[in-house]
A and B are shown apart, each in its own frame.
Chain A
Amino acid sequence: MNPTMLHASSQCFAIQKRIVLRAENVWKSYDGGAITVLKGVQFEAFEGQTLALCGPSGCGKSTLLHLFGGLDELDQGRVSVNGVEVNRHRNLLSLLRHEVGFVFQLHNLIPDLTLEENCLIPAVAAGTDRRIARERLRQLAERTGLSHRLGHRIQKLSGGERQRTALCRALMNRPKILLADEPTGSLDEKASGVVFDLLLDIVATEGATLVMATHDRALAGRCDRLLEMRDGRIHEPESV
């Protein structure tokens, strides 16, 4: 599929699906303005879409993901999730508990807890009923092939298993948007492929939107849209 066709495909997608994530003229700088990372980013993601954000290290991919999840504050502009502005979001907790899920390059699991306990943390935060949470975990573990590892501590898991655990945790509260920051960056090629297949499969089944920052263009190419971050801006496919 050439870029023009891809763009056309995304436009077609846009007609059918509603916008779940939008960034309008987003600016973000660090060190009191000395380093400007985002310079008026414009962005839209549609329900159920998978998007890959590519670009060199330090170009602002992670920063943008953090802004989407309300973890950081922007200097200027507007980010909205499901039509509600994030930096004016009345309840940031609700955003983190129910609307977005994060997967990081480092799995960021709590080492002394078991796989099951790590995955249930978002349910604990949201006060989800124990029975419902366990059923949800059972389904996720089955789909990610971790059912036999539920009672194991994180130290006992392989890198791929850890990242699959992080994926289960991120999806525990059925978020509509999954923000993945180099989710396969710490894995070897084989494990990376397995995790990414799983990621695409699960978000498709769940109907979630995936926004993934990655250096891996091969993986990025398998997403619905590939966006390039350059000079603090996002460049749409036809300009890549």
Chain B
Amino acid sequence: MTVIFFKLIVTNLWRHRIRSFISVAGIAFSVAAMLTVVTILQGAIGMFSGILSSDSQVLVFERNVSDLFFSSVPAEAVDEIANWPMVIDADPVLFGIVSSADHPILTCFGVTIRDARLRKAIWLAGDRLNFARHADDVVLGERAAEFLSAKLDSHVPIGHGIFHVIGILKTANGFEDGGVFMPLASAQTFFHKEGSSSVITVKLRGKDDAALFKAKVKAAFPNLIALEDAEFTRSYSQFKILKATAWAVGGCGLLMGGLGVANTMIMSVFTRIREIAILRVCGFSNLQIAAMIFGESAVVSLLGAVLGLGAGSCLLFALKYVPALHGYVDVTIQPIVILIVILLALLTGVAGALYPAAYAMRVRAVEALRFE
């Protein structure tokens, strides 16, 4: 019996298959857009978090700053924290944005020679031990070297200065791979932030030391805040804005898809008034009629969601191999994103079927049977 009920649902979709296909395509495009935007942004957030948490568990930065680029952590804090017994490493990092020929945005990392990013990277050219011997020394990420057409020992214009390339390294992180590593002191001078860094990335002796470390930072440096990596990713306002934007853009797309479903369902109800009347005469209840309409929209939404997930995954897979985006796009689709996207698509379908279902429930058999 369920099969017949299901057939009543799909029969109408099949009968108007072009219209149904357009609705499914609308949902699929929306789902693909949402999946792509959300995954790319989450990947970007993940990569940025990766820069910050490279071989460290805690991040120290200025309290109440909206963006880490505006954070200022004094050198004295770095020195003092580095000497605390629970700390293994405390690496100051200064972030800056510069431009170079043809590239309006180039991320600069002001770091020390001991920094984990330099230690853990694969050095394609040069030697880490030569880092920071001269003020104009820079190390380029592989991608940055590529688009700056730089080689080892060459000189490249970055911002208002000319720098000497003493190394080229490869990391798994797109931002780092497309960035420039400067000696911390040079970066402080370049960005007019003498004596300060943006953050301190801290590696602790034990995981249990985190609470004590955070309390100690709060007591010793009231203007600074220490957050564990996961805590930071959750609370950093820029990440929140990015995530909200991604979901909002995707949501708008899905809303458009939902309007398509609503249109299809309204047409579906109007063109089968007589059939609905027959079902009523056969004893179908309001609930059964509504279930049929909602079932129809759910099929459209589910098909759209599945197609959209497939299309979105293919698009992300293709983006991964676009040379210009290499390393910038983390295409790992999180299961929670898939679940949310499917749920949103279903909700959209249900919302789109609300009015048509209400209309169908009001159909009076006696009037509809006169309808030609």
Contacts and interface: CB of A to CB of B under 8 A. Distances in A.
Contacts of B12: 112
Given A71-B364, A121-B279, 7 more contacts: A69-B281, A108-B274, A110-B8, A112-B14, A113-B11, A125-B288, A126-B283
Interface of B: 1, 4-5, 7-8, 11-12, 14-15, 274-275, 278-285, 288, 364-366, 369
Contact of A96 (B4, B281, B369): B281
Chain A contact-residue range equals 20 to 34
Contacts of A93: 283, 285
B23 to A, nearest CB: 19
Contacts of A46: none
A240 B275 CA distance: 38
B372 to A, nearest CB: 9
Interface in A167-194: 169, 173
Contacts of B279: 121, 125
A127 B282 CA distance: 12
B4 A71 contact: no
Contact of A125 (B11, B283, B369): B283
Interface string A113-132: 10001001111111110100
A97 B285 CA distance: 10
Q: Is the interface of A mostly helix, strand, loop or mixed?
A: helix
Given A71-B365, A72-B366, A125-B288, A117 B282 contact: no
Interface string A66-110: 100101100000000000000000000100111000101000111
A104 B281 CA distance: 11
Nearest to B275: A110
A110 B278 contact: yes
Nearest to A106: B369
B1 A113 contact: no
Nearest to A108: B278
A104 B1 CA distance: 24
A195 to B, nearest CB: 19
A133 interface: yes
List the 5 closest pairs (A to B, CB-CB), nearest first: A97-B283, A125-B283, A96-B283, A71-B366, A112-B11
A75 B4 CA distance: 38
